[in-house]
Amino acid sequence: MPYTLNTDKDFQFMLKEIGMSSAKELYSQIPPQIKLNSNLNLEAGLSEFEVEKKLKSLALKNSSLDSFNSFLGAGCYDHYIPAALEAILSRSEFLTAYTPYQPEVSQGILQAIYEYQSFICLLTGMDISNASVFDGASSLAEAVLMAARITKRKKIILAGAHQPEYIQTLNTYLSGFDFALEKIEPAENGLVNLGDLKRALDSDTACCVMQNPNFFGLVENVKEIADLAKEKKALNVLVTNPLSLAILKEPAALGIDIVCGDGQPLGTNLNFGGPSFGFLATKNEYLRQLPGRIVGKTQDKQGKPAFCLTMQTREQHIRREKATSNICSNQSLNAIGAAVYLSLLGEQGLKKTALNSFNNAQYLYQRLKELRGVNIPYAPRIFNEFVWEVKDALGIMNKLYDKNIIAGYYLGDSLPDCENRILSCCTEKKNKDEIDNFVNTLAEILNG
Amino acid sequence: MADLKFTKSHEWVKIDGFQAKIGITDYAQSQLGDIVFIELPQAGEQIKKTSQFGTIESTKAASEIYSPLSGEVIEVNDDLVNNPQWINESPFDKGWMVKINMADPKESESLLDESSYKEFVDKEAYQ
Amino acid sequence: MDREIIFDKNKTSDKKTYLPESTTAGCDLEDFLPKESLRQDLPLPNLGELDVVRHFLGLARDNFSIDTNFYPLGSCTMKYNPKVNEKIASLEGFTRIHPYQNQKDVQGALELIYDFERLLCEITGMKRFTFQPSSGAQGESTGMLMIRKFHKINGNKKTKVIVPDSAHGTNPATATMCGYQTVVVESNSSGLVDIDKLKSLVDESVAAIMLTNPNTLGLFEENILEISDIIHKAGGLLYYDGANFNPLLGITKPSLMGFDVIHLNLHKTFSTPHGCGGPGAGAVGAAEDLIEYLPVPLVAKAENKFYFEYNLKNSIGKVRSFYGNFGVLLRAYAYLLRLGKEGLLRVAQNSVLSANYIKEKLKNYYEVAYPGQCMHEVVFSCSSQKEKGASALDIAKRLIDFGIHPPTMYFPLIVKEALMVEPTEAESKETLDRFIKAMIDIDNEINTDLEKVKNSPHTMPVKRVDEVKAARFPDLRWKKPGA
């Protein structure tokens, strides 16, 4: 039998030791009405070889992104992951270890997470970071709940273009509470409409939430937005792509109080959208409202430097119904992966990754702009993705797909008034030939 | 300690004319363990009998502090915030938390005296 | 050995060549983006690859893990993480697919989710499953939000959720997050939900009861059908916290017990690796009446093609972006295929047998909190050891010197000096005997060398860590000297 080590002999021996003669007696307290009389209606177990074979055949029914010339982004990004990262993360002592509640047997894990927390603080300019949460969408929900707890106010403003799934997730999380959510639609130029925002901000606003770069790929005037919110003593929550922080200014210097987002661009593969991790960072004064696990540095009883999980009294296993959140696990392995990624790439590698993405995206932007039939509604103040429109966008995307090109994310799938708009992304993995291939093929389709 | 009064939620009160000093008992601090954090109201705030006026945290527990009496907070032991260990070391003296002007002195009549509180604690400790 | 923090390591000035030079023209950032929005200084260290590899592998060596140590951690089901699952999870057909790709390009992934759902429905009796939640706790909030919406749509005025006093802390925290007031029902002297007390608490305002079965004391709630009846008659629903489902595989189903919504921890019962605390996954299953409230999308099949189904009448929406921790699901799926129906039953039986074996062998040394037969975990009280000067914590820390991870300590809250032991079915009798001997040795040591127990562990890179100092003087990140 796979995955259990006891032989039949061991089994019988142990039964006898506890005074039983058959396995049935192990379940004597289960009411007979709910006991199953026969085996589950499942197949018999497979050998390891057969399991591998079956799963391989399922994997082959998927066409990985590598078989296309792809420009898909929209919240999940295809970045190069150094081989050393996977070699490190696949180590048993990281992969099969438990949550580091017992610090004496987890110093390595704790230090790795402490380093992760430090990296997030360096990237964002914030004072403190937690040990990660589930994903970007839930990190936003946690950030909003945090802002509401701190300000004791009930109104939440969502300014500008946000990833639609994040908004849906936020709505779900907030449904158990009594908050008012107000969306400020983007202005004509695709950025936050400052006039509308100013009108919406009031003394009941807990926070103003902005995404930068926003869902249209545009870089917002973060400080201006933050200043408006500060006038009403509302907190500023920023959702961001951590890789963009290699070239964009640290949110802490722009007046942001809580930074969150999805950490997938930092060393996690596409994985069909999961697992990934969310990050959450803030200022020292909000420490006690920060949900999730946190690692702290301290000493052992002999004065030697040591790490441990700390601030646990905010968490569910101690505060119970007064907890700041019900989070129990986080996404440690992926967060440690981010620490490894940032260690391997360093300032140089990260900047290069970001700049190459930027250069590629600008090149695509310029080339598309030149095409007759293509309109680009917004300025190229972008990081790695942007919006363009073409008549019968879906039809065009299908024709491109037939030529093995995935043009990007069809905005009409989730946004009203975007029937002819596409969001195209260039990471550092793209090169000039691939971009030319995309644009030239599109030109042929449009002319033909 | 004979002049102190107590609550079943383990707060103590020392009444001095129309003022009252409030803290948590030695039993409470021993149950909580090493105190790491305390959150207290500000001077000028109104607190009410039996409602929460603060939070206290140790490494293994977080607890609300309930007010034994109603009144206006006139003084807060702000130094406690940086020295939470005083609550463990000296819960009735250095570890005092707030001083209030009592809104209704009659409220103190329903508080426990020292022997009743001790009896209450002994019963609880056996469970 | 002192571990340098990564930021203090030797820097290299070597150029990073993970990527080629840009093939498109270099653009000046300031030509496109406002200067105020640009970063001046990126304070990340530039390190050599070998140094990074040595650093993190050095950190790895300081940890216990299932692959290297026995973890009798109650409530966590620390079973072996099969390596073939890792091999499969790294196939490019699974790691290199984007969630927004054309559905015809990900038919393999959709078929996997669909078939996995079929297996879980058969195992639990639930009718449909969502795999969006990333953990048990997120599964709980998903399930409770579904229950909340059910009551709202049906016009029921519900304000309370009942939770046993032995419940895990996530249960009341979840209830609060869903806007409910938590009401605690006491356990009786046998460690089970007190039916009379329950009856007195249940009224028309009760939305649901959240139960783990077996409960956190490792005991099967024998009166589950009566509990189900009491709650349902008052118009409430039953929520199953599946953290302890391991001993029931192939024995009974939550549907038969009366549960309306359940969550399963894939990183517990279904062997996916804990990864230092995540990623996990919480599969949430619904009975017929609750299907329409599940998060969207579900996976459906029509004419041999699989697709995402978004048309759920009263869905609570999404609880995270995309579809859940797919990488975790596929490991759990492979695990189920390997075990099959007879393997699952064997897992359950061995898990119960192992826990009872330990109970039998240690009952004369450590007080068993509840004398009845336990299921997959057993709770000991170290009260008599405490009287001699060694707490549950001391005993747990001393176990580390035997190469064994401490059991769960001080939980559930209703047992004094609790140690909760869950060996799982994955361990051999030899390992169990080694654990039993260690526990007996420690008990003896309390009489002969108490200080050794109280000052343990002695064999790890650090002694007991000052957690009070960590909380009083938080140092939560590295700071550049002088900053």
- pLDDT tens digits for B17-63? 899 999 999 998 988 889 998 989 999 999 999 888 888 888 777 78
| Separation in Å, CA of B99 to nearest CA in chain A | 25
- The neighbouring-strand residues paired with C206 are C160
Average pLDDT over residues B98-124: 90
- The closest of C91, C157, C129, C145 to C270, measured between CA atoms, is C129
| Separation in Å, CA of B8 to nearest CA in chain C | 20
Among C186, C383, C472, C476, the residue to mutate for chain B (most B Cβ within 10 A)? C472
Place of tokens 């959140």: A325
Using the Cα atoms of residue B101, residue B107, residue B113 and residue B118 in order, give the sign of their dihedral.
negative
Cross-chain residue pair A5–C428, CB shorter than 8 Å: yes
Residue C1 has pLDDT above 60, yes or no: no
Band (pLDDT 50/70/90 cuts) for residue C167 is confident
Place of tokens 């709202």: C152
Compute the half-sphere exposure of residue C474: CA atoms within 13 Å on the CB side of its CA: 22
Number of CB pairs < 8 Å for B and C?
14
Interface residues from chain B to C (CB-CB < 8 Å): 34, 36-37, 57, 59-60, 84-85
- Minimal Cβ distance to A272: which of C76, C180, C323: C323
Backbone angles phi, psi at A131, to 5 degrees: -85, 10
Band (pLDDT 50/70/90 cuts) for residue A325 is low
B39 vs A contacts (CB less than 8 Å): 288
Domain C84-338 has CATH 3.40.33.10: no
| Cβ atoms C121, C143 nearer than 8 A | no
| Cβ atoms A324, A149 nearer than 8 A | yes
| Cβ atoms A204, A152 nearer than 8 A | no
Band (pLDDT 50/70/90 cuts) for residue A208 is very high
In one-letter notation, the amino acid at residue A34 is I
The predicted structure's pLDDT at residue B124: 72
β-strands A258-262, B4-6 pairing: unpaired
Write down the CATH number for the domain with range C347-469: 3.90.1150.10
Burial class from Cβ neighbours inside 10 Å (0-12, 13-18, 19+) for residue A405 reads buried
Q: What is the mean pLDDT of chain C?
A: 95
Q: Mind listing the pLDDT tens digit for each residue in C29-75?
A: 999 999 999 999 999 999 999 999 999 999 999 999 999 999 999 99
| Cβ atoms A154, A148 nearer than 8 A | yes
Please report, to the nearest 10 degrees, the dihedral formed by the alpha carbons of residues A379, A382, A385, A386 taken in order.
-10
Report the C-alpha gap between A237 and A72 in whole angstroms: 26
Average pLDDT over residues A172-197: 94
Report the C-alpha gap between A254 and C42 in whole angstroms: 16
Place of tokens 């769960």: C408
Report the C-alpha gap between C223 and A219 in whole angstroms: 60
Cross-chain residue pair A94–C280, CB shorter than 8 Å: no
- The closest of A93, A102, A98, A103 to A299, measured between CA atoms, is A103
- The neighbouring-strand residues paired with B35 are B58
Cross-chain residue pair B62–A288, CB shorter than 8 Å: no
- The closest of C311, C265, C313 to C150, measured between CA atoms, is C313
Would you list the DSSP string of A285-322? GGGGG--S-EEEEEEBTTS-EEEEEE-GGGSHHHHGGG
The predicted structure's pLDDT at residue C309: 96
The predicted structure's pLDDT at residue C237: 98
Q: Where in chain A is the domain with CATH 3.90.1150.10?
A: 351-447
| Lowest-pLDDT choice from A309-318, A354-363, C125-134, C429-438 | A309-318
Q: In chain A, pLDDT over 90 holds for what percent of residues?
A: 91
- The closest of B47, B26, B46 to B92, measured between CA atoms, is B26
| Cα Rg of chain C, angstroms | 25
The predicted structure's pLDDT at residue B127: 47
Report the C-alpha gap between C258 and C124 in whole angstroms: 11
Q: Where in chain A is the domain with CATH 3.40.640.10?
A: 84-341
| Separation in Å, CA of A136 to nearest CA in chain B | 29
Band (pLDDT 50/70/90 cuts) for residue B2 is low
Using the Cα atoms of residue C432, residue C437, residue C443 and residue C449 in order, give the sign of their dihedral.
negative
By the CB < 8 Å criterion, does A267 face chain C? Answer: no
Among C7, C98, C269, the residue to mutate for chain A (most A Cβ within 10 A)? C98
By the CB < 8 Å criterion, does C160 face chain A? Answer: no
The predicted structure's pLDDT at residue A139: 95
The predicted structure's pLDDT at residue A121: 98
| Lowest-pLDDT choice from A37-51, A166-180, C114-128 | A166-180
The predicted structure's pLDDT at residue B123: 79
Task: Work out the angle at residue B53's Cα, subtended by the Cα atoms of residues B51 and B57, and round it to the nearest 5 degrees.
Answer: 115
| Lowest-pLDDT choice from A312-316, A355-359, C28-32, C203-207 | A312-316
| Cβ atoms B33, B60 nearer than 8 A | yes
Cross-chain residue pair C471–B36, CB shorter than 8 Å: yes
Residue C2 has pLDDT above 90, yes or no: no
Write down the CATH number for the domain with range A351-447: 3.90.1150.10
For chain C, give every domain's residue range.
84-338, 347-469
Q: Mind listing the pLDDT tens digit for each residue in A393-438?
A: 999 999 999 999 999 999 999 999 899 999 999 999 999 999 999 9
The predicted structure's pLDDT at residue A358: 97
> What residues 124-153 of chain A have any CB closer than 8 A to a CB of chain C?
127-129, 131-132, 134-138
Q: In angstroms, how far is the first alpha carbon of chain B from the final one?
A: 26
Which chain C residue lies closest to B83 (C-alpha atoms)?
A: C472
Write down the CATH number for the domain with range A84-341: 3.40.640.10
| Separation in Å, CA of B35 to nearest CA in chain C | 8
Report the C-alpha gap between B50 and B39 in whole angstroms: 17
Average pLDDT over residues C364-388: 95
Average pLDDT over residues A38-63: 97
Report the C-alpha gap between B111 and C452 in whole angstroms: 46
C468 vs B contacts (CB less than 8 Å): 34, 36, 59
| Cβ atoms A185, A161 nearer than 8 A | no
Q: Can you tell me whether residue C265 is helix, strand or coil?
A: strand
Report the C-alpha gap between C324 and C133 in whole angstroms: 6
- The closest of C216, C210, C225, C239 to C126, measured between CA atoms, is C239
Q: Can you tell me whether residue A276 is helix, strand or coil?
A: coil
Using the Cα atoms of residue C380, residue C383, residue C386 and residue C387 in order, give the sign of their dihedral.
negative
- Minimal Cβ distance to B60: which of A288, A318, A322: A318
Burial class from Cβ neighbours inside 10 Å (0-12, 13-18, 19+) for residue C132 reads buried
- In this structure, CATH architecture of domain B4-126: Beta Barrel (2.40)
| Cβ atoms A177, A384 nearer than 8 A | no
| Cβ atoms C146, C286 nearer than 8 A | yes
Q: Mind listing the pLDDT tens digit for each residue in B58-104?
A: 877 778 888 999 999 999 999 998 899 999 999 999 999 999 999 99
Q: Mind listing the pLDDT tens digit for each residue in A5-32?
A: 999 999 999 999 999 999 999 999 999 9
Q: Which residues contact C452 (CB under 8 A, 6 or more apart)?
A: C398, C445, C458
- The closest of B127, C173, C397, C388 to A104, measured between CA atoms, is C397
Buried b (16+ CB within 10 A) or exposed e, C80-112: bbbebbbebbebebbbbbbbbbeeebbbbbbbb
Residue A146 has pLDDT above 80, yes or no: yes
Token pair recorded at residue A245: 């922080």
| Separation in Å, CA of C397 to nearest CA in chain A | 8
Residue C436 has pLDDT above 90, yes or no: yes
Report the C-alpha gap between A166 and A74 in whole angstroms: 11
Report the C-alpha gap between C456 and A378 in whole angstroms: 64
Report the C-alpha gap between C171 and C137 in whole angstroms: 8
Band (pLDDT 50/70/90 cuts) for residue C483 is low
β-strands C282-286, C128-130 pairing: antiparallel
β-strands C261-265, C237-241 pairing: parallel
For chain B, give every domain's residue range.
4-126
A84 vs C contacts (CB less than 8 Å): 49, 52-53
Q: Mind listing the pLDDT tens digit for each residue in C240-251?
A: 999 999 999 999
Compute the half-sphere exposure of residue A212: CA atoms within 13 Å on the CB side of its CA: 31
